[in-house]
Amino acid sequence: MKILVCISNVPDTTSKINFAENDTKFDTNGVQFVINPNDEFGLTRAMWFKEKQGATVHVATVGGTTTEPTIRKALAIGADEAIRVNAEPTDGFFVAEQLTDVAKNGDYDLIIAGRESIDYNGGMVPGIMATLLNMNFVNTCIGLEVEGNNATAMREIDGGKEKIATTLPLVIGGQKGLVEESDLRIPNMRGIMMARQKKLSVVEPIASSNTTEDIKFEKPAPKGAVKLVDADDMDELVRLLHNEAKVI
């Protein structure tokens, strides 16, 4: 089995978010970038298939040279090869088209992408890829087993879970549950050293146009001041909930 894991380079959730150029661009100064968490769950599951079933695992991202430390981390975790599409990921459809071209050239049986990235939360890339590739698709995937060309997937739905039987080739939009957080891997020194010897191919983007444009960014309004009420003063608590919070 040949697996492609799509990796998005996203800001660490602890990073302080600011915008530049009159709030029209994200300010990357001082921001640490990491593998998108939903993609990391998928990568970890791909490593399970590699170790248990002898699968070959490639990783791919769309981005400039600044994304290479992130994709090198994926290699250090255990991926066999990496592909970087040399373009800025400015639009979800653009990213999906670039990754689709990578997938077409690689003849993959299974494509694992995160359900969504934690920066723009578009949630569109895996579904668009499945459509362009004419492959089966399972989104919000929280479990996956593969036996030959047959796959059994578990996905999260409103109010519960759904078990699906499907076949390869397959695209999934993965999330937490595909593996647990405790299963995620930290690259060790041996993995880091081996990653330096693994192939990282840089390919130029195919012709495509952005279908959306970021006009302006705006931070959420700051939270208001907190008022503390003595536990014995229930009348004051009721007054505040009624007159100020307006919840009763």
What is the per-residue pLDDT for 195?
Answer: 92
What is the per-residue pLDDT for 221?
Answer: 85
From first to last of the 248 residues of the chain, give the pLDDT tens digit. Answer: 999 999 999 999 888 889 999 998 889 888 999 999 999 999 999 999 999 999 999 999 999 999 999 999 999 999 999 999 999 998 999 999 999 999 999 999 999 999 999 988 889 999 999 999 999 999 999 999 999 999 999 999 999 999 999 999 999 999 999 999 999 999 999 999 999 999 999 999 999 878 888 899 998 888 878 888 888 888 888 888 888 888 88
What is the per-residue pLDDT for 47?
Answer: 96
What is the per-residue pLDDT for 11?
Answer: 93
Q: What is the pTM of this model?
A: 0.88
The number of beta carbons lying within 10 Å of the beta carbon of residue 178 is: 29
Going by C-alpha positions, the residue among 78, 80, 83 that lies closest to residue 186 is: 78
Please tell me the total number of residues recorded for the chain in this structure.
248
